[in-house]
Structure 1
Amino acid sequence: MAGWGGAALLFGATMLAASAAWAEVPYFADQIKAGTLPAMEQRLPEHPLKMDFAAEGKEIGKYGGDLVTIMGRSKDIRMAVVYGYTHLVGYDQNLELKPDILESLDVNDDGSVFTLHLRKGHKWSDGAPFTAEDFRFYWEDVVNNEQLFPVGPPRFLLVDGEPPKFEVLDKYTVRYSWSQPNPFFLPELAGTRPPFIYRPAHYLKQFHATYQDPQKLEEMVKERNLRNWAVLETDMDRPYKLENINLPTLQPWVIRTQEPSDRFIFERNPYFHRVDPDGNQLPYIDRMIFNIANAKLVPAKVGAGEVDIQSRILTLKDYTFLKQAEKQKAYHVRLWDVGYGNYATLYPNLTVSDPVWRKLLRDLRFRKALSLAINRTELNRVLFFGLATPRNNTILPKSPLFKKQYATENVGFDLKKANALLDKIGLDKRNDDGIRLMPDGRPLEIIVETTGENPEQDDILELVGDSWKKAGIKLYVKALQREVMRTRAYSGDTVMSIFTGIDNGLAVPSTVPSEFVPVNQDSLQWPKWGQYYDTGGEAGEKPDMPAAEELMKLYEKWRTGGPHQQKKAWEHILDINAENLFSIGLVGNVPQPVVVADGLKNVPEKGIHSWEPGGFFGIYHPDTFWWDR
Structure 2
Amino acid sequence: MSKLLIAGAMALMAGNAVAACPTVTGPDAGGAYPHLFEKSEFESIQNCTLSFNENPSIKQLNGRIAGNPKLLPLAQRIPQEPLVIAPYKSIGKYGGILNGISKSTESGTSDFLSVRHVNLVRFSDDLATVVPNVAKSWQWNSDFTVLTVNLRKGHKWSDSAPFGAEDIAFWYNNILMDKNVIEKPKDRFLSAGKAVKVKALNATTVEFTMNEPAPGFLDNFAQDYAQPFLPKHLLEKFHPAFNKDADKLAKAVGFDNGYALVNFYYGQSDWKDIPTPLLKDKAATERLVKAGYTAIMPSLESFLVVEDSLEGRRLVANPYFFQVDTAGNQLPYINEISEVYIGDEDIQTAKLISGEVDYKAQAVNLPQAPVLLENKDIGNYEISLRPTIAQTTFAFNLTDKNVEKRAIFNDLNFRRAMSVAIKRDQINDIAYFGLGVPTQYTGFDADSTPFITDKLKNSWIQFDQKLAKQLLDKAGVVDLNGDGLRDLPSGKKFELNIQYATQGTSTEVVEIVAKNWTDVGVKTTIKEVTSDAYRNSQTANDLSVLSWVMGRPLVSIASNTEILVPPYGSFFDLRTGMLWSQYLETNGAEGIAPPATVAEMKILTDDFVKLKVGTEQSNKVGIQIAEKVVDDLFIIGTVKAVSPIYRSKALANFEVPKTSSYEFYRMYPYLPSQWYLTN
| Cα distance in 1 for residues equivalent to 2:216 and 2:555 | 14
- Whether 2:439 is the aligned partner of 1:439: answer no
| Cα distance in 1 for residues equivalent to 2:526 and 2:223 | 33
Provide closer, same or farther for how the CA distance between residues 269 and 507 of structure 1 changes in structure 2, counting only shifts above 3 A.
Answer: same
Provide closer, same or farther for how the CA distance between residues 473 and 538 of structure 1 changes in structure 2, counting only shifts above 3 A.
Answer: same
Q: CA deviation at 1:461?
A: 2.9
Please tell me the residue identity of whatever aligns with 1:577. V
Choose which of 555, 575, 578 in structure 1 pairs with 2:630. 578
Alignment of 1:466-505 (within 5 A): 466-479=515-528, 482=531, 485-486=534-535, 488-489=537-538, 492-502=541-551, 504-505=552-553
Provide closer, same or farther for how the CA distance between residues 509 and 300 of structure 1 changes in structure 2, counting only shifts above 3 A.
Answer: closer
Q: Percent identity?
A: 26
- Whether 2:242 is the aligned partner of 1:208: answer no
Alignment of 1:65-76 (within 5 A): 65-75=96-106
Provide closer, same or farther for how the CA distance between residues 294 and 326 of structure 1 changes in structure 2, counting only shifts above 3 A.
Answer: same
Counterpart for residue 334 of structure 1:
384
- Whether 2:358 is the aligned partner of 1:308: answer yes
SS at match of 1:74: coil
Q: Decide whether the 8 Å contact of 2:399 with 2:577 is kept in 1.
A: yes
| Cα distance in 2 for residues equivalent to 1:24 and 1:172 | 25
Please tell me the residue identity of whatever aligns with 1:265. R
Counterpart for residue 398 of structure 2:
350
- Whether 2:301 is the aligned partner of 1:251: answer yes
Q: Decide whether the 8 Å contact of 2:80 with 2:152 is kept in 1.
A: yes
Counterpart for residue 51 of structure 1:
85
Q: Decide whether the 8 Å contact of 1:89 with 1:98 is kept in 2.
A: yes
Provide closer, same or farther for how the CA distance between residues 336 and 530 of structure 1 changes in structure 2, counting only shifts above 3 A.
Answer: same
TM-score by length of 2: 0.81
Please tell me the residue identity of whatever aligns with 1:218. K
Counterpart for residue 319 of structure 1:
369
Q: CA deviation at 1:334?
A: 1.9
| Cα distance in 2 for residues equivalent to 1:149 and 1:308 | 36
Choose which of 500, 512, 517 in structure 1 pairs with 2:560. 512
Please tell me the residue identity of whatever aligns with 1:588. K
Provide closer, same or farther for how the CA distance between residues 418 and 148 of structure 1 changes in structure 2, counting only shifts above 3 A.
Answer: closer
Provide closer, same or farther for how the CA distance between residues 42 and 325 of structure 1 changes in structure 2, counting only shifts above 3 A.
Answer: same
Choose which of 585, 597, 604 in structure 1 pairs with 2:655. 604
* Deviation string, structure 1 residues 171-192 (Cα, Å, up to 9, x no partner): 1112121342235632442343
- Whether 2:653 is the aligned partner of 1:621: answer no
TM-score by length of 1: 0.86
| Cα distance in 1 for residues equivalent to 2:59 and 2:318 | 15
| Cα distance in 2 for residues equivalent to 1:571 and 1:535 | 30
Q: Decide whether the 8 Å contact of 1:509 with 1:570 is kept in 2.
A: no
Counterpart for residue 527 of structure 1:
578
Provide closer, same or farther for how the CA distance between residues 467 and 294 of structure 1 changes in structure 2, counting only shifts above 3 A.
Answer: closer
- Whether 2:206 is the aligned partner of 1:174: answer yes
| Cα distance in 1 for residues equivalent to 2:137 and 2:202 | 15
Provide closer, same or farther for how the CA distance between residues 404 and 275 of structure 1 changes in structure 2, counting only shifts above 3 A.
Answer: farther
Q: Decide whether the 8 Å contact of 2:497 with 2:525 is kept in 1.
A: yes
Please tell me the residue identity of whatever aligns with 1:357. K
Q: Decide whether the 8 Å contact of 1:345 with 1:583 is kept in 2.
A: yes
Q: CA deviation at 1:321?
A: 1.9
Provide closer, same or farther for how the CA distance between residues 532 and 610 of structure 1 changes in structure 2, counting only shifts above 3 A.
Answer: farther
Q: Decide whether the 8 Å contact of 1:115 with 1:173 is kept in 2.
A: yes
Choose which of 425, 435, 440 in structure 2 pairs with 1:387. 435
Q: CA deviation at 1:116?
A: 1.4
| Cα distance in 1 for residues equivalent to 2:492 and 2:158 | 62
- Whether 2:312 is the aligned partner of 1:273: answer no
Choose which of 248, 265, 273 in structure 2 pairs with 1:218. 248
| Cα distance in 1 for residues equivalent to 2:60 and 2:538 | 53
Provide closer, same or farther for how the CA distance between residues 512 and 131 of structure 1 changes in structure 2, counting only shifts above 3 A.
Answer: closer
Counterpart for residue 591 of structure 2:
540
Which of 293-302 and 133-142 deviates more?
A: 133-142
Q: CA deviation at 1:69?
A: 0.8
| Cα distance in 2 for residues equivalent to 1:464 and 1:158 | 39
Alignment of 1:555-566 (within 5 A): 555-563=605-613, 564=615, 565-566=617-618
Choose which of 396, 403, 413 in structure 1 pairs with 2:446. 396
- Whether 2:76 is the aligned partner of 1:42: answer yes
* Deviation string, structure 1 residues 311-347 (Cα, Å, up to 9, x no partner): 233222222222232212222222222221x1x2111
Q: CA deviation at 1:427?
A: 4.2
Q: Decide whether the 8 Å contact of 2:135 with 2:152 is kept in 1.
A: yes
SS at match of 2:101: strand
| Cα distance in 2 for residues equivalent to 1:623 and 1:83 | 7
| Cα distance in 1 for residues equivalent to 2:485 and 2:111 | 45
* Deviation string, structure 1 residues 7-38 (Cα, Å, up to 9, x no partner): xx999x96443552324123357679x99544
- Whether 2:51 is the aligned partner of 1:22: answer yes
Which of 132-141 and 362-371 deviates more?
A: 132-141
Counterpart for residue 230 of structure 1:
259
* Deviation string, structure 1 residues 23-62 (Cα, Å, up to 9, x no partner): 4123357679x99544444322222222355xxx544333
Q: CA deviation at 1:491?
A: 5.7
Q: CA deviation at 1:529?
A: 2.5
Q: CA deviation at 1:399?
A: 2.8
- Whether 2:95 is the aligned partner of 1:64: answer yes
Which of 389-398 and 78-87 deviates more?
A: 78-87
SS at match of 1:256: strand
Counterpart for residue 168 of structure 2:
135
Please tell me the residue identity of whatever aligns with 1:221. K
Query: How many matched pairs?
Result: 604
Which of 480-489 and 412-421 deviates more?
A: 480-489
* Residue segments in structure 2 that go unaligned for 5+ positions in a row: 1-31, 44-48, 64-68, 278-294
| Cα distance in 1 for residues equivalent to 2:555 and 2:193 | 26
Provide closer, same or farther for how the CA distance between residues 605 and 481 of structure 1 changes in structure 2, counting only shifts above 3 A.
Answer: closer
Counterpart for residue 295 of structure 1:
344
Please tell me the residue identity of whatever aligns with 2:402. D
* Residue segments in structure 1 that go unaligned for 5+ positions in a row: 1-8
- Whether 2:617 is the aligned partner of 1:587: answer no
Provide closer, same or farther for how the CA distance between residues 304 and 229 of structure 1 changes in structure 2, counting only shifts above 3 A.
Answer: same
Counterpart for residue 334 of structure 2:
285
Choose which of 131, 147, 164 in structure 2 pairs with 1:114. 147
* Deviation string, structure 1 residues 255-303 (Cα, Å, up to 9, x no partner): 221x326352211112211223343322122222212334331111111
Provide closer, same or farther for how the CA distance between residues 406 and 27 of structure 1 changes in structure 2, counting only shifts above 3 A.
Answer: farther
Q: Decide whether the 8 Å contact of 2:420 with 2:468 is kept in 1.
A: yes
SS at match of 1:26: coil
Provide closer, same or farther for how the CA distance between residues 107 and 535 of structure 1 changes in structure 2, counting only shifts above 3 A.
Answer: farther
Please tell me the residue identity of whatever aligns with 1:21. L
Provide closer, same or farther for how the CA distance between residues 65 and 554 of structure 1 changes in structure 2, counting only shifts above 3 A.
Answer: same
SS at match of 1:300: helix
Provide closer, same or farther for how the CA distance between residues 172 and 223 of structure 1 changes in structure 2, counting only shifts above 3 A.
Answer: closer
* Deviation string, structure 1 residues 67-124 (Cα, Å, up to 9, x no partner): 1111222345676443223101221222222221011111112221111111001111
| Cα distance in 2 for residues equivalent to 1:372 and 1:520 | 22
Q: CA deviation at 1:472?
A: 1.9
Provide closer, same or farther for how the CA distance between residues 442 and 166 of structure 1 changes in structure 2, counting only shifts above 3 A.
Answer: same
| Cα distance in 2 for residues equivalent to 1:165 and 1:453 | 38
| Cα distance in 1 for residues equivalent to 2:612 and 2:343 | 48
- Whether 2:510 is the aligned partner of 1:461: answer yes
